[in-house]
Amino acid sequence: GGRLAYMAAARTDISASVGYYGVMIDQMLHESHAIANPLMLHIPTADHFVGPEAQAAIHSGLGHNAKVTLHDYVGLDHGFAAEIGARRDAVGAALADSRTAAFFAEHLG
């Protein structure tokens, strides 16, 4: 999800995109200059697929971009917002989903 949302924001004229998790975005930051429309990323800080170094690179590479909104979820893992599974966190998922809904309402009407 996160990588696809990032690629859509950087490579298309999509009106707005939201990604949960950020697998490999740190390796694609050279494309960030092309983000012309709003992008929101949900980043769980204990993501076992996206380590602390990758998360730091994402924040460093995208944090200054006015089109990008980053939300960290402290202590949560990859899949925290999945509908099922051991890593699901109902509180974190509800927060991320509410932020997503508000983001799309603001940017898509």
Which numeric CATH code is attached to 2-108? 3.40.50.1820
Residue spans of the domains in the chain: they are 2-108
- Which candidate in 47, 59, 89, 107 is catalytic? 47
Q: Is the pLDDT of residue 1 over 90?
A: no
Tens of pLDDT along 72-100?
999 999 999 999 999 999 999 999 999 99
The pLDDT value given to residue 84? 92
**How confident is the model at residue 109, as a pLDDT?**
85
> Which of the following is catalytic: 26, 42, 77, 78?
78
Q: Give the residue carrying structure tokens 């099922």.
A: 84
pLDDT in tens, 24-48: 999 999 999 999 999 999 999 999 9
Asked if 97 is an active-site residue, the reply is no
Counted residue by residue, the chain has a size of 109
Calculate the dihedral angle through the C-alpha atoms of 68, 104, 101, 38, rounding to the nearest 10 degrees: 0
- The pLDDT value recorded for residue 103 is 98
The model carries a pTM of 0.96
- Verify whether residue 78 is a known catalytic residue: yes
